[in-house]
A and B are shown apart, each in its own frame.
Chain A
Amino acid sequence: MTVTDILLLALGAVAAGSALRVVTTTHIVRAGLWLVVALGAMAACYLVLTAELVAWVQVLIYVGAVVVLLLFATMLTRAPIGPSPELDRARFPAALIGLGSGGGLAALFIFGYRWGKAELAAPGTAGVLGKEIFSGWVLPFEVLSILLLAALVGAIVVSRGERS
């Protein structure tokens, strides 16, 4: 057991546990706050996997922006602070489907990759990723700006819809 392995196990347990809480809690606001824990643990996983820039972008975009937006949307809709169990379905069929697909997925991955060892490579810092993006990934990068523009215009049109 190296330090990396211990970190992996601990962070993986935190991520999986808080993801379970997101799915099972009846408080919508608590689901959002557990999501912060799950996403933070996954950011730490990325950090251990030496994907440095992606980890910090995860903290900035997901924890800093997307979760804030989700909590905003919670406050704008029903604004429930207590439990809201009427928003749940029967669990057994879904659990069965989930167990089947999850087990199948895990088995496929394990048989595909065996239990192998891999050395940690050089960290993916902002400089390394920048070189890669601005040499080989320029077109996807520019297309992303169009996507963001479309999202901005679309959100304005949808959220202004009924006022006029």
Chain B
Amino acid sequence: MDPSYYIVLSAALFTIGAVGVLIRRNAIVVFMCIELMLNAANLALITFSRMNGSLDGQIMAFFVMVVAAAEVVIGLAIIMSIFRTRRSASVDDANLLKY
């Protein structure tokens, strides 16, 4: 197998996720794009673990998934509470901390 192929796929998926975060305004879709980026990083970690013949990359990917789940739980709870006060799921409306 050719590991560079996976590395390029991971770079492509990360880019797609990053562009998604930039162009979408809905907070939930932004979250989905962040999940894509985290998964791209996981793919790179697993490929590196394969290339080096060590399991550390796989274990890190495992831990990244757990951290991502915790992040989604908290993030969506925050979106939910913003939605209840402002009736909007757009990230542009949640700008009050700036002022």
The answer on direct contact between A and B (beta carbons under 8 Å) is yes
Binding site for B on A (CB under 8 A): 2, 4-5, 8-9, 12, 15-16, 19-20, 22-23, 28, 31-32, 35, 38-39, 42, 45-46, 49-51, 53-54, 57-58, 61-62, 65-66, 69-70, 72-74, 76-78, 84, 86-91, 93-95, 97-99, 101-102, 105-106, 109-110, 113-121, 124, 128-129, 132-133, 137, 140, 144, 147-148, 150-152, 154-155, 158-159, 161-162
Q: Do B72 and A133 touch (CB < 8 A)?
A: no
Q: Which A residues lie within 8 Å of B83 (CB)?
A: 76-77
Q: Do A22 and B32 touch (CB < 8 A)?
A: yes
Q: Which B residues lie within 8 Å of A5 (CB)?
A: 1-2
Q: Do B59 and A42 touch (CB < 8 A)?
A: no
Least Cβ distance of A15 to chain B in Å? 7
- A140 to chain B: closest residue by CB: B63
Measured CA separation A93–B25 after assembly (Å): 15
Q: Do A19 and B17 touch (CB < 8 A)?
A: yes
Number of A-B contacts (CB under 8 A): 246
Least Cβ distance of A45 to chain B in Å? 6
The contact string, 1 if C-beta is below 8 Å from chain A, for chain B 30-52, is 01110110010011001101110
Q: Looking at the complex, which one of B1, B8, B13, B59 makes contact with A117 (CB distance below 8 Å)?
A: B1
Given contacts A54-B62, A94-B22, contact A162 B3 (CB under 8 A): no
Q: 21 A-B residue contacts at CB 8 Å?
A: A5-B2, A15-B9, A22-B20, A22-B29, A23-B24, A28-B26, A51-B61, A54-B58, A54-B65, A73-B80, A77-B83, A88-B23, A89-B25, A102-B18, A110-B4, A121-B53, A132-B59, A151-B73, A159-B77, A161-B81, A162-B85
Q: Which A residues lie within 8 Å of B55 (CB)?
A: 124, 128-129, 132
Measured CA separation A38–B10 after assembly (Å): 12
Q: Do A76 and B80 touch (CB < 8 A)?
A: yes
Q: Which A residues lie within 8 Å of B24 (CB)?
A: 23, 87-89
Measured CA separation A80–B97 after assembly (Å): 27
- B44 to chain A: closest residue by CB: A109
Most A C-beta atoms less than 10 A away, residue of B13, B16, B68? B16
